[in-house]
């Protein structure tokens, strides 16, 4: 089953920490968003394999917007 990893805040993608194909554990930092001078890590709620990265570094994202997809273990 696939799931979306979503941005939990509105901000800009500062750094992407995973690549397509990476197998990650629950709680892994997928990317770091920057909002109002604060760096906020986006953690995966699930364990699985990253199948798609939906954003680029520097891109603006809205709260709730999917930023990556994951194939669940």
If one asks whether residue 35 binds other proteins (CB under 8 A), the answer comes out as yes
Q: Nearest distance from residue 35's CB to other proteins, in Å?
A: 4
String of DSSP letters for 28-61: -EEEEEEETTEEEEEEPSS-EEEEEE---TT-EE
Q: Which stretch binds other proteins (CB under 8 A): 20-28, 29-37, 45-53, 65-73?
A: 29-37
Site string for other proteins, 48-67 (x = CB under 8 A): ------------x-------
The total number of residues written for the chain in this structure = 73
């Amino acid at each position: 089953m696939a799931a979306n990893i979503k941005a939990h805040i509105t901000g800009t993608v500062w750094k992407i920490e995973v690549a397509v194909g990476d197998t990650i554990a629950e709680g892994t930092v997928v990317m770091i968003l920057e909002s109002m001078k604060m760096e906020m890590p986006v953690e995966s709620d699930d364990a699985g394999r990253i199948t798609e990265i939906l954003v680029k570094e520097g891109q603006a994202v809205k709260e709730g917007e999917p930023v990556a997809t994951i194939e669940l273990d």
